[in-house]
Chain A
Amino acid sequence: MLLFILLTHLAIGVAILGSGDRLGRRAFAVAALAPALTVGWAITQASGVIGSSSGGSGMSDGVPVSFSWMWVEQLGLQLDLRLDGFGLVMVSLVSGIGLMVCIYAMGYFSYPKPGTARLAGLMTLFAGAMLGVVLSDHLLALFVFWELTSITSYLLIGNDDRNPRARAAALQAILITGAGGLVMLVGLIIIGQSAGTYLISELLLNPPTDGVIAAGVICVLVGAFTKSAQAPFGSWLPGAMVAPTPISAYLHSATMVKAGVYLVARLAPILATTGQWRVLVLSVGAVTMVIGGLRAMRQYDLKLLLAYGTISQLGFLMLMFGTGEYKIAQAAVVLILAHGAFKAALFMVVGIVDHEVGTRDIRELHGFGSSWRPTVVVGILAAASMAGLPPLLGFVGKEKALDTYITYGDFTGSGVVLGVIVVGSMLTFAYSARFVLGLLGHFGVADKPNRSAEAHAPSAMFLGPAAVLTVLTVLLGLAPRLVDPLVAAATTALDPTASPSTVKLWAGFNAALGLSVLVIGVGLLLVWKRAPVARLQRRFSDAISWIPSAERGFLVALRSVTDGSKRLTAVVQSGSLPIYLLIIISVVAIAPLIPALSAWSDLPPLVDVPLHVPLAALVIAASLGASIVKRRISAALMLGAVGYAMAGFFIVQGAPDLALTQLVIETLATVLFVLVLRFLPTRWADRSPAVARPIRLTVSVAAAVSVFVLALVAAGSRDSVSEANISVEMIARSAPEAKGNNIVNVILVDFRGLDTLGEITVLVVSGVGAVALARAGRRRLMLGSDAADEVADYEWSEHEPVPSAAPVAGEMDQ
């Protein structure tokens, strides 16, 4: 069934994509089938996965649903899917919010444009991939699904492919997350290899302790940070906001950006005490939480405000899950649910405003009429949950987070992290308030058009999904016991040794409550004094503007890569055949020298046979002559001379067949040379630049030296293995088995017959090619001079418009 769910997403997604634009916005109704099915199935599985016991009573006895399919047995590649408690939390986010987003999108795309249906198809594919991420038990399968979410995210951001901003943002997103994914793959392999298993469930039972794990940890974290938009890799997330709001609500707040958090949550209990894990996760999470909050406070675009808020919240989740302490992780599970619910609702509200008013700029919102009241209430409640106000789910999560951090944060630096969480929560309160005030019209600028007053209120179906999510936020905030079993099961799934406590709305008067009061108090102060705070922030950002931002760093890197590759192409692809050959020959000449010199042995005798001396003299003289003379025919004849001398060598060697072949071929070749060269000018002038000569000479000498050394080293290497010499066997079997007395002949036509077949094929191909080339010219010559001129004109005037002949003929007829 697990596999069936994934395949259903694939099938529905492909079907929607295949139907093109025919479905229009109804495509989202079709797309909703997949998450609806998943939610329904998850509900039927919930009781088994969660188990009977709830939080507070110790271990959960839930049994995970799993599925395993061996794919490539030899490589140990198998598809392991597993639905445990934490998986159930993620599935409810992916498919629950997915379902809401699909319904919402039907209202959002009330006037579908070309490509709208494509969004639905891609979103379904993304949902399938995301389910794959949270259901995979095998690290490599997780990686594959992980990359699939990056790719579908790229396509979704860049769906409006005529918009250069969308293309640029999509590219930025996939470059950053893709690069991070590759680094992560390295880390996953390091972890998997040194632990001896790629299954998360097995890793959990036998945590690896190998030294190299530390490197793997860093690599995996880089992947998680890029995906979850952590500093300094977060620059792609605000850019991704060019995507339509349903996409942003789904991918870039509720699900995909949580993949990094998910991975950290899964691996933290295994690796938290390994290497630099805690230092890295906690410092990056802390920086991200504060910077994201500060930036969110400065936005005028509601959607960007939410985007930076998401970055900040993701940093918060990192701070929680990254500790590897199950108590703190339990609070994080509540938070991840709360964040999914309120952030998706907030995005939906922004989308409604954008859709009905036509702007998301809070300076152009001057307050809404009474018909908008439900929408505004939904927005305020969701924002209140984000700010951590009671009695909402966001408050429950944040309260538990502070409480567990105070009580169980006993590692180095936990006090600092707690401080950061408090400061980050104050900022969260401030930008949540900014969102609400913006929605109410407090930032409306008088000289900007008031477009909100006469805007139509959204239909019930349009607002419905956001309202449902907000009702959930309120309901679960008032009665956290409803979500308690799920949270407990998720905590136990993350860490089997966990004994989760109960999630409560009211936990009595404790330090956490004090901190919450402090957060709200300072938050109110920040809101009350928002003008001076904004001035201070601007002055601060001006003061640090000399520090290159991560965005700028990315862009400069991107540009230098494209520029560098252009320059490299210009160098290596110069279009000059001699330069290409020069590079190839240099490599061929130098590379073998290194092993050859290390295998150096004694020199062979200076001269083997006296008869070699005159032959050698002839070859050397003729080949040097062929290289120097400036007459084509002379050079060809000298090549012939070398060939005949070679035949002499063959005779001395005891190879009459070779000598015979060489003589015949050389004669034939010389005749051909003369036939062709008689057309060409007898002499040539050297037009090459002066610098070319010494370079060519150097490379030629280098090649010669390399071959010389190689020949000496390889001398007689075959004789040294004479016991296993294949030739002895060939000599012995030639007559009895192949009935031939000429052993070379037997080898050619019998022992190595296929080789000869290949040789014949080469000859046929080159012969056919040569004949075609020769005849191509003959046909031209037979066309007569006019036709030949015409062909020549055509070839030379390729880039100029050639007037068509037909209309001219028509005019002449008239």
Chain B
Amino acid sequence: MSVLVAFVAAVLVGCGTWLLLQRRLSRIIIGVGLLGHAGNMLLMVSGGRRGTAPLIGTGDPAGFSDPLPQALALTAIVITFGITLFLLALGFRSWQLTNDDVVEDDVEDRFIARQQRVDRDIADEILAEAAQAAEEDRR
């Protein structure tokens, strides 16, 4: 582990986040890829010592690199690939439907957010009731 490697991981995260926050699905996919690399790199370098390949019979086991983070990172690489594959299929579908890959705002959510008070609130109901009662009381 060194400052340099930590810095590389940080740059990968920064670029990945930047791309993830974009509106284009293709950029988001690339961002996911970069974040995946960053994760693997952190896993590797924070996981354990560097050394020779952990293959029994090739040398002294004491000099082996840590095998467990490698196994985890291997899993992570494959899963990142699976996600990329699925997102690419989504991008393909998006192109089929809209000829583009922009991630639009959710129309339903926008509608809810901008919805004015369509229905009378129950509080209004009671308030009107109370006002009417007070009016009757005055008479």
Contacts and interface: CB of A to CB of B under 8 A. Distances in A.
A810 interface: no
Contacts of A515: none
A417 B18 CA distance: 70
Interface stretch (A42-50, A94-102, A164-172, A496-504): A164-172
A743 B95 contact: no
Contacts of A708: 6-7, 9-10
Contacts of A657: 70, 74
B13 A642 contact: no
A639 interface: yes
A708 B57 CA distance: 37
B84 A635 contact: no
Nearest to B91: A676
B38 to A, nearest CB: 7
Given A612-B4, A676-B88, A652 B50 contact: yes
Given A705-B10, A715-B46, A575 B81 contact: no
Contacts of A635: 26-27, 30
A576 B105 contact: yes
A716 B6 CA distance: 12
Interface string B70-108: 110111011101111110111111011000111101111
A718 B70 contact: no
Contact of A575 (B19, B74, B105): B105
A653 B113 contact: no
B1 A773 contact: no
Q: Is the interface of A mostly helix, strand, loop or mixed?
A: helix
A774 B86 CA distance: 10
Contacts of A669: 33, 81, 84-85
A110 B20 CA distance: 69
Contacts of B14: 700-701, 703-704
A509 interface: no
For chain B, which range describes its interface: under 10, 10 to 19, 20 to 34, or 35 or more residues?
35 or more
A578 interface: yes
B133 to A, nearest CB: 9
A371 interface: no
B6 A712 contact: yes
B122 A558 contact: yes
A619 B8 contact: yes
B27 A654 contact: no
B90 to A, nearest CB: 6
Given A559-B121, A701-B14, A727-B48, A742 B55 contact: yes
Interface string A646-681: 100110111111100110010011001100110111
Contacts, number: 341
A209 B95 CA distance: 72
B100 A681 contact: yes
Interface in B11-32: 11-24, 26-27, 29-30
A168 B18 contact: no
A661 B107 contact: no
Contacts of B20: 581, 585
A517 interface: no
A299 to B, nearest CB: 9
Contact of B21 (A559, A581, A763): A581
Interface in A688-743: 688, 696-697, 699-701, 703-705, 707-708, 710-712, 714-719, 725-727, 730-732, 734-735, 741-743
Contacts of A732: 61
Interface string B41-73: 110111111111111110001001111111101
Nearest to B88: A676
Given A711-B6, A715-B1, A730 B67 contact: yes
A773 B49 contact: no
Contact of A759 (B52, B70, B75, B123): B75
A661 B77 CA distance: 8
B56 A574 contact: no
A639 B48 CA distance: 26
Contact of A559 (B7, B11, B101, B124): B124
Contact of A744 (B16, B74, B92, B117): B74
Contacts of B45: 653, 711, 715
Contacts of B1: 604, 608, 711, 715-716
A711 B64 CA distance: 22
Contacts of B19: 626-627
A769 interface: yes
A718 B112 CA distance: 49
B78 A759 contact: yes
Given A608-B5, A654-B50, 16 more contacts: A167-B122, A562-B123, A577-B103, A577-B105, A608-B1, A616-B5, A635-B30, A649-B41, A653-B50, A655-B53, A655-B65, A676-B91, A731-B54, A747-B67, A765-B82, A770-B88
21 contacts: A168-B126, A569-B113, A575-B109, A604-B6, A612-B2, A619-B37, A649-B44, A653-B44, A654-B51, A655-B73, A661-B74, A661-B78, A696-B22, A707-B9, A711-B9, A711-B45, A718-B66, A741-B55, A742-B54, A747-B68, A780-B96
Interface of A: 164-165, 167-169, 171-172, 239, 298, 538, 551-552, 555-556, 558-559, 562, 566, 569-571, 573-578, 581-582, 585, 603-609, 612-613, 616, 619-620, 623-624, 626-627, 632, 635-636, 639, 642-643, 646, 649-650, 652-658, 661-662, 665, 668-669, 672-673, 676-677, 679-681, 684, 687-688, 696-697, 699-701, 703-705, 707-708, 710-712, 714-719, 725-727, 730-732, 734-735, 741-744, 747-748, 752, 755-756, 759, 762-763, 765-767, 769-771, 773-774, 776-777, 780
Q: Which 7 pairs of residues, A with B, have the shortest CB-CB distance?
A: A575-B109, A704-B14, A654-B65, A770-B89, A575-B106, A708-B10, A711-B6
Interface of B: 1-24, 26-27, 29-30, 33-34, 37-38, 40-42, 44-57, 61, 64-71, 73-75, 77-79, 81-86, 88-93, 95-96, 100-103, 105-110, 112-115, 117, 121-127, 129-130, 137-138
